[in-house]
Amino acid sequence: MRVALSGTPGTGKTSVGEALARRGHTVVEVNHLAKEKGLLGRRDRRRETREVDTAALDKAISEDERLRGAILVGHLSHLLTVDLIVVLRCRPSVLAIRLADRKYPEAKVKENVEAEALDVVLIEAAETGRPVLEIDTTAMSVDGVVEAMEEILAGEREKYAIGHIDWSEEVLGWF
């Protein structure tokens, strides 16, 4: 089973992915993979990121035997051909702190906090038609999320079914 571990920047994908790798899982950062396969596109100066040709990347991943059972980590991973998408979530007010701790500029914090509040990644994931689960990491440790991921890999679905996480109350507080 190939799994995508996605979520808004700062929700903990890389931290959780690294911990899963230390526990013996095959974990690959989608961005590293894109670079390795020469599929990083144009530079987006404003966002300080580079575009990724997701279709070409998807093809390369599907043809790579080593990635058959991999956990693909990154905020684009839910757009790839996987058997299951796990979206990490974080309460917007807490995500704002995590991103500010990273010294992200205010505009970038705001952009990502808004995306989280509006379920952008979750909606994109659901639109793929593939199975999607979500983990609320707000009050969890990295190890706690790793445990949740291992429960999911062992077959748990109900506990992490989508539709229970709702940040609308926080959003209403913005007005």
Ligand X SMILES: Nc1ncnc2c1ncn2[C@@H]1O[C@H](COP(=O)(O)OP(=O)(O)OP(=O)(O)O)[C@@H](O)[C@H]1O
Q: Binding residues for Mg ion, per CB under 5 A?
A: 13-14
Q: Is 92 in the site for ligand X (CB under 6 A)?
A: no
- What is the dihedral sign for C-alpha 117, 119, 121, 124? negative
Smallest separation (angstroms) from ligand X to the CB of 161? 19
Query: What are the phi and psi torsion angles at 161 (to 5°)?
Result: -60, 145
Write the CB contacts of 89 (distance below 8 Å, at least 6 apart in sequence).
7, 8, 11, 116, 122, 134, 135, 136, 137, 138, 165
Stretch that binds ligand X, among 40-48, 60-68, 136-144, 166-174 (CB under 6 A): 136-144
How many residues of this chain interact with ligand X, rule: CB under 6 A? 16
Smallest separation (angstroms) from ligand X to the CB of 80? 15
Q: Is 100 in the site for ligand X (CB under 6 A)?
A: no
Contact yes or no for 84/151 (Cβ under 8 A): no
Report the residue from 7, 27, 91, 148 that binds ligand X according to the rule CB under 6 A: 7
Residues within the interface to ligand X (CB under 6 A): 7, 9-16, 75, 98, 137, 140-142, 145
